[in-house]
């Protein structure tokens, strides 16, 4: 059984550089959970992350065991971040943030498979956010993205550099601030963490 590597399939989207660049993002399928509040203190955020990973790994092993199954790697955690109105988004006022936590899924994952995996995951562990998970597509289109290396709390200069690049291209910000967490904060030193920061543009 050949293993599907979505990071290779979408190489340009998951291997950003420290220099900002434009990318075209096709409609992609994710498991998603919505919430609000400071991700550092809101229990809902940690619960969402735990539920998404549990569901993603349950789906992976379900697919591998099927007679005509498939093997693939679980993708990294991602996050959409915004405030309402969206122009009020501030890195300083995290308590006002709204967010969607998400993990990319292969196209062959269906709502029926997600429901089966949800039941299996719920039988093994109490996961408060599990009922909130949904399978949905995100269509971002043209985006600018850049690689941030270092602690999440020190993203501001990288974000400002990305926004300046967008202006230089004669483009405007559109949609929600998007982050892709390539590193694991539980294992990597804060100064070694790698985060792709993506911003849809028009």
pLDDT at 29: 98
What are the residues facing 30 on neighbouring strands?
Answer: 104, 136
Write out residues in the chain with pLDDT < 70, as ranges: 1, 85-92, 185-186
What would the pLDDT profile of 140-150 be if each residue is shown by its tens digit? 999 999 999 99
pLDDT at 1: 67
pLDDT at 149: 95
pLDDT at 153: 86
* C-alpha distance from residue 166 to each of 8, 37, 101, 157, 161 (Å): 26, 28, 25, 14, 9
Written as six digits, the tokens of 122 are 């719920």
What are the residues facing 98 on neighbouring strands?
Answer: 36, 82
Domains of the chain: 16-200 (3.20.80.10)
> 147: how many CB neighbours lie within 10 A of its CB?
18
* C-alpha distance from residue 79 to each of 43, 61, 100, 139, 179 (Å): 16, 24, 6, 14, 5
pLDDT at 88: 59
What would the pLDDT profile of 16-31 be if each residue is shown by its tens digit? 999 999 999 999 999 9
Q: What is the pTM of this model?
A: 0.93
Written as six digits, the tokens of 56 are 């993603």
pLDDT at 85: 67
pLDDT at 42: 87
Mean pLDDT, the chain, rounded, equals 93
Contact 23, 13 (CB under 8 A): yes
pLDDT at 183: 79
pLDDT at 93: 74
């Amino acid at each position: 059984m050949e293993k599907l590597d979505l990071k290779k399939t979408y190489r340009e989207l998951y291997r950003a550089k420290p220099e900002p660049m434009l990318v075209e993002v096709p409609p992609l399928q994710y498991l998603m959970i919505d919430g609000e509040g400071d991700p550092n203190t809101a229990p809902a955020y940690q619960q969402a992350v735990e539920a998404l990973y549990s569901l993603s790994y349950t789906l992976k092993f379900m697919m591998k065991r099927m007679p005509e199954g498939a093997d693939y790697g679980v993708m990294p955690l991602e996050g959409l971040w915004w405030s309402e109105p969206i122009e009020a988004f501030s890195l300083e006022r995290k308590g006002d943030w709204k967010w969607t936590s998400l993990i990319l899924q292969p196209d062959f994952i269906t709502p029926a498979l997600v429901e089966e995996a949800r039941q299996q995951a719920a039988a093994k562990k109490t996961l408060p956010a599990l009922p909130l998970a949904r399978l949905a597509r995100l269509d971002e289109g043209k985006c600018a993205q850049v690689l941030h290396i270092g602690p999440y709390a020190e993203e501001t200069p990288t974000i400002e550099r990305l926004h300046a690049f967008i202006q230089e291209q004669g483009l405007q910000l559109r949609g929600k601030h998007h982050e892709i967490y390539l590193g694991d904060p539980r294992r990597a030193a804060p100064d070694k963490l790698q985060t792709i920061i993506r911003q849809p543009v028009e």
